[in-house]
Amino acid sequence: MKEELEKLNEKIKKCKKCGLWKLRNNVVPGEGPVYAKIIVIGQAPGVQEDKTGRPFVGPAGKFLNYLLELAGLKREEVFITSPLKCLPQPPVNRKPKKKEIESCSPWLKKQIEIINPKKFILLGEVAFSVFFPGKNLKDFRGKRIKKEDKEFFVTYHPAAGLRFPKIREILERDFKKLRDLLT
């Protein structure tokens, strides 16, 4: 399985399915154990992620690490990725376009197939819309959703918690609630 994931990462690094490859510094396939029971899915790489090729390493990543601790998780235990594998630009940190998400979605689907997690933590509207198109995050935030043989926990993106104190409080409550749901 590890070898299969490494081969997939090499394919992702060569991807030219959308125009984002032209401006990227690094592709950000994701990271974590291949046998992770939990996968954390964000929106897209940011500037720091584009520089390093690693997911959630900027300010939102530091906040995510704190949130995972609130849930009783360690970053090393979960697989962290996003629907997009390249920084959406210009402008930097814009919301991914639907066509970009569609172009990149086979990579995420294959990662999920290889890792086969049982639980998903969906961070923000983009991640939520990939799995629940046509639904509103606000109607499911802080809740566990069962779909087929998988469980999804939906909340806001950590970057929103850095910008808005009220959302930070909600995220902290959600991840404390997640701790109870994981036991």
Query: Under 8 Å CB-to-CB from 135, ≥6 apart: which residues?
Result: 128, 129
Q: What is the pLDDT of residues 152-167, one digit of tens each?
A: 999 999 999 999 999 9
CATH numbers and ranges of domains, the chain: 2-15+25-45+64-77+90-134+143-182 (3.40.470.10)
d(CA 91, CA 97): 12
Q: Which residues pair with 39 in a beta bridge?
A: 79, 120
pLDDT at 183: 65
Burial of 162 (0-12, 13-18, 19+ CB in 10 A): middle
Residue 103: CB atoms within 10 A of its CB come to 20
Q: Does the pTM exceed 0.75?
A: yes
Runs of H (alpha helix) within 14-156? 47-52, 59-70, 98-115, 124-131
| Beta-strand runs (E) in the chain | 38-41, 79-81, 119-123, 144-147, 150-155
Q: What is the pLDDT of residues 67-106, one digit of tens each?
A: 999 999 999 999 999 999 999 986 667 788 899 999 999 9
